[in-house]
Amino acid sequence: QVQLVESGGGLVQAGGSLRLSCAASGRSFSSYTMGWFRQAPGKEREVVAAISWSGGTTFYADSVKGRFTISRDNPKNTVYLQMNSLKPEDTAVYYCAADYLPWSLHSNSEKYDYWGQGTQVTVSS
């Protein structure tokens, strides 16, 4: 069993930055593929970024490429999402997710069994 707790969300002006953290409890964190997803009102949940168990491979949605950076600190059981140059369209609830997954499934939200409670990110124009 894995528990995930996100933090770091908030209200920021367009062009600003936020750093989200996702702290995991339980064993085997270093074996999990980790993903960040977001869901805006009236929209489906979408993948934002993902990182392999070792941190050696990352994925970014086209909409955030060049602005967001995902990283992980396995000894601290934590994954991060650094968000720069934020835009109003980045406004959403952000969730972290974890599971034992082959890398080919990293962007498929249905394949993740463990989810955090979400943290709200609001970007004002």
Nearest to 33 by CA among 72, 83, 86, 75: 72
pLDDT of residue 30: 86
User: Among all chains, which residue has been given the structure tokens 């650094």?
Assistant: 82
Q: Are 20 and 81 in contact (CB under 8 A)?
A: yes
3-state class (DSSP) for residue 8:
coil
Which residues, 6+ apart, have CB-to-CB distance to 1 below 8 Å?
A: 26
Q: Are 121 and 94 in contact (CB under 8 A)?
A: yes
User: Among all chains, which residue has been given the structure tokens 């394949």?
Assistant: 111
pLDDT (tens digit, 9 = 90+) per residue, 33-85? 999 999 999 999 999 999 999 999 999 999 999 999 999 999 999 999 999 99
pLDDT (tens digit, 9 = 90+) per residue, 71-89? 999 999 999 999 999 999 9
